[in-house]
Structure 1
């Protein structure tokens, strides 16, 4: 191998390594920026929860403050007002609230105008709640300040 071939191979290898590092840095820096923008500057998470009865009257309001990123279920299960049914297949679903009695085909609907699993996802199956969450309470991960509304709906 002559010296010009060796120089060409060395410069090509360096160019491939440089291009690879630029691509990886671009991908990971953009992911870091997206994750950082989801968290507040003061690093404190808040969860605002409102509950409405069948007559759309507010029966509960609470702000959970200074939270670590976790699920809606993990945060609200510390409050005895929330009652959950937990199954290994489907996770945790809100089955009761305080001593409120559901009648007939009523259920508790969790909705949120801010959470990515809820905002604008309802509608077809839940026409009264266009921001109805499409997953259960254990799948609603809170990684930034969020606001949730729980209301009594019927099917």
Structure 2
């Protein structure tokens, strides 16, 4: 199994400050349409196929791989991506919280395995190294915040929150 975690400050010095509600709106939008947040061409399809007040189900094609995710929302706090089909199984979480100094933070953590691969084998080891490396999820968190700022500046970010 793979466990990885990364945390970044939401409002580092020199960046336009974001509120919890603004970051939350970005996380919900990212869950609904990953194409808006991933590098161009990486996600070629992303469609919400079911939704309720607490979760959505999306089908997406990311890096040429079809997947289905059940995405649960804990408003203004946590988005959990359960990997229903695709190369991974397990959960990936994006969580908003205040640190001991009261500063807003965005944390990623996951506990996943690779379907059809040996637990702890070379494929999982490579995935673990990527997640923990310079181009892994810490970079993805910073990219999510950057894109949220851009969408907010463009007036394309709704602050309604929730799964709807």
Q: Which has the higher strand share?
A: 2
Instruction: Using CA pairs under 8 Å that are at least 6 residues apart, name the structure with larger relative contact order, 1 or 2.
Output: 2
Shared fold per TM-score greater than 0.5: no
Q: Flag the structure with larger Rg.
A: 1
Task: Tell me the TM-score normalized by structure 1.
Answer: 0.29
Task: Tell me the TM-score normalized by structure 2.
Answer: 0.28
